[in-house]
């Protein structure tokens, strides 16, 4: 197990290093200086930036100093928001995005799993078809389309929920639905298909032959095995929810990191683009690491395999 964790840890560090290096290559490969005054940067800010990125020094020194600043969690100043550092923006925006993301993932996982299990247990029944039609629609409709539809219908036409901003639980409803539907659909489909596969396994037949009740068979024997694949895709889902927040925050005018990030792309505010990318990537890669560890703990077969060095 320890070996397994160490190996994952090493992979995590290498991946983060690649992202950091990529952002550095991005900076130096932009024609001209990314921070020059043509882009409307005032001189004061420009001086700050050049100092932060050590632009007067040769590339390899710049690179090492850049690595050092990332390691100390210092992403430098913003170009377009004078007097603000990327850290300031992250400090303000990330908690909001995290809240949106967390609520979304909880909603998506719980409803997706319930939907998937119901569909599998009523295989080929009306409930199965209904749940799966819903899931296919959920996968097919892009979140920005769904978000617009929700605003149009539930906020503007029916005025049930507020259309924008982020100040009360009622404000959360529409953005969370828009963001959670896709991942929920994916989880529901995956849960259903693995559940169906697990239910045909001999150990389920064996459990039935022992006279266990259907409820006990589902909870004790099927569910745990059926949820394993769901855990493996959690990393990917987190990534898609996180990138989804960019779109959703912009549409619903939620003051999260995603909104700042989209603005920074439109304005070519490179330090914010780089800082956010590094920060979010690190966050995601760390989550992926946690998912791998969780999987190792939940599946007893992995411990042995990894101890023997695969």
Partner 1 sequence: MEKILEVKDLHVTFSTYGGTVKAVRGVNFHLNKGETLAIVGESGCGKSVTSNAIMRLIPDPPGKISKGEIIFRGKDLTKLSEKKMRGLRGVDISMIFQDPMTALNPTLTIGTQLKEGLQQHRKISSDAAEVKAIEMMDLVGIPSPKERLKQYPHQFSGGMRQRIVIAMALICEPELLIADEPTTALDVTIQAQILELFEKIQEVTGVSIILITHDLGVVAKIADRIVVMYAGKIIEVGTKREVFYQPEHPYTKGLLNSVPRLDLQGEKLTPIDGTPPDLFSPPAGCPFTARCPFAMEVCDKVYPTGTTLSETHQVDCWLQDDRAKRLLATTAATTAEK
Partner 2 sequence: MKIRIGTEASQSTDQVPDDWFNWKKKDKEEAESVARPSMSYWQDAWKRLIKNKLAMLGLIFLILLGFMAIFGPILSPYSVKIQDLPNQYQPPSSDHWFGTDSHGRDVFTRTWYGARISLFVGLMAALIDFTIGIVYGGISGYKGGRTDSILMRIIEILYGLPYLLVVILLLVVMGPSLTTIIVALTVTGWVGMARIVRGQVLQIKNYEFVLASKSFGTKTPRIIRKNLLPNTMGPIIVQLTLTVPSAIFAEAFLSFLGLGIQAPHASWGVMANDSLGAILSGNWWTLFFPAFFISFTMFAFNVLGDGLQDALDPKLRK
Sites of contact with partner 1 (CB under 8 A): 124, 201-203, 205-213, 216, 220-221, 224-225, 298-301, 304
Closest separation in Å from C-beta 136 to partner 1: 21
Closest separation in Å from C-beta 69 to partner 2: 18
Q: Choose the one of partner 1, partner 2, none that binds residue 48, judging by a C-beta under 5 to 8 angstroms depending on kind.
A: none
Judge contact between 3 and 306, C-beta under 8 A. yes
302 binds partner 2 (CB under 8 A): no
For residues 170 and 178, give the distance between their C-alpha atoms in angstroms, rounded to a whole number. 14
Q: E strands, the chain, where? A: none
Helix axes 223-251, 143-150, angle to 10 degrees: 70
Helix (H, G, I), strand (E, B) or coil at 85: strand
For residues 257 and 56, give the distance between their C-alpha atoms in angstroms, rounded to a whole number. 31
| Count of alpha carbons within 13 angstroms of residue 285, beta-carbon side | 19
For residues 257 and 255, give the distance between their C-alpha atoms in angstroms, rounded to a whole number. 7
Q: Choose the one of partner 2, partner 1, none that binds residue 83, judging by a C-beta under 5 to 8 angstroms depending on kind.
A: none
Q: How buried is 219 (Cβ within 10 angstroms: 0-12 exposed, 13-18 middle, 19+ buried)?
A: exposed
Q: Which stretch binds partner 2 (CB under 8 A): 39-47, 151-159, 164-172, 226-234?
A: 151-159
Out of 44, 148, 165, 213, name the contact with partner 2 by CB under 8 A.
148
For residues 163 and 253, give the distance between their C-alpha atoms in angstroms, rounded to a whole number. 9
What secondary structure letter does DSSP report for 41?
Answer: -
Q: Choose the one of partner 1, partner 2, none that binds residue 191, judging by a C-beta under 5 to 8 angstroms depending on kind.
A: none
- Binding mask of the shown chain, residues 219 to 258, with x at each position contacting partner 2 by CB under 8 A: --------------------xx-xx--xx--xx-------
Nearer of residues 131 and 285 to partner 2, judged by Cβ? 285
Closest separation in Å from C-beta 182 to partner 2: 9
- Binding mask of the shown chain, residues 2 to 41, with x at each position contacting partner 2 by CB under 8 A: ---------xx-xx--xx--xx--x--xx-----------
């Amino acid at each position: 197990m320890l070996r397994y964790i160490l190996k994952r840890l090493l992979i995590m560090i290498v991946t983060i290093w690649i992202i950091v290096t990529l952002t550095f290559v991005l900076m130096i490969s932009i024609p001209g200086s990314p921070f020059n005054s043509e882009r409307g940067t005032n001189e004061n800010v420009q001086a700050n930036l050049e100092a932060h990125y050590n632009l007067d020094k040769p590339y390899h020194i710049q690179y090492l100093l850049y690595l050092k600043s990332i390691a100390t969690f210092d992403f430098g100043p913003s170009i377009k928001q004078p007097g603000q550092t990327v850290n300031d923006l992250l400090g303000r925006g990330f908690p909001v995005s995290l809240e949106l993301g967390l609520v979304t993932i909880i909603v998506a996982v719980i409803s997706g799993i319930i939907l998937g299990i119901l569909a599998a247990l009523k295989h080929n029944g009306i409930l199965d078809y209904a749940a799966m039609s819903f899931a296919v629609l959920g996968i097919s409709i892009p979140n920005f389309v769904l978000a617009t539809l929700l605003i149009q219908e539930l906020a503007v036409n029916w005025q049930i929920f507020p259309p924008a901003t982020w100040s009360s639980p009622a404000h959360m409803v529409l953005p969370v639905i828009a963001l959670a539907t896709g991942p929920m659909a994916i989880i529901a489909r995956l849960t259903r298909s693995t559940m169906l596969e697990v239910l045909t396994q001999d150990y389920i037949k064996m459990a039935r032959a022992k006279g266990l009740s259907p409820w006990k068979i589902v909870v004790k024997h099927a569910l745990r095995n059926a949820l394993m694949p769901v855990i493996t895709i959690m990393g990917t889902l987190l990534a898609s929810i996180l990138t989804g927040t960019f779109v959703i925050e912009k549409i619903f005018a939620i003051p999260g990191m995603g909104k700042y990030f989209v603005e920074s792309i439109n304005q070519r505010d490179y330090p914010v683009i780089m800082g956010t990318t590094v920060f979010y990537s690190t966050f995601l890669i760390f989550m992926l690491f946690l998912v791998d560890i969780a999987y190792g703990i939940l599946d007893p077969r992995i411990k042995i395999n990894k101890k023997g060095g695969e």
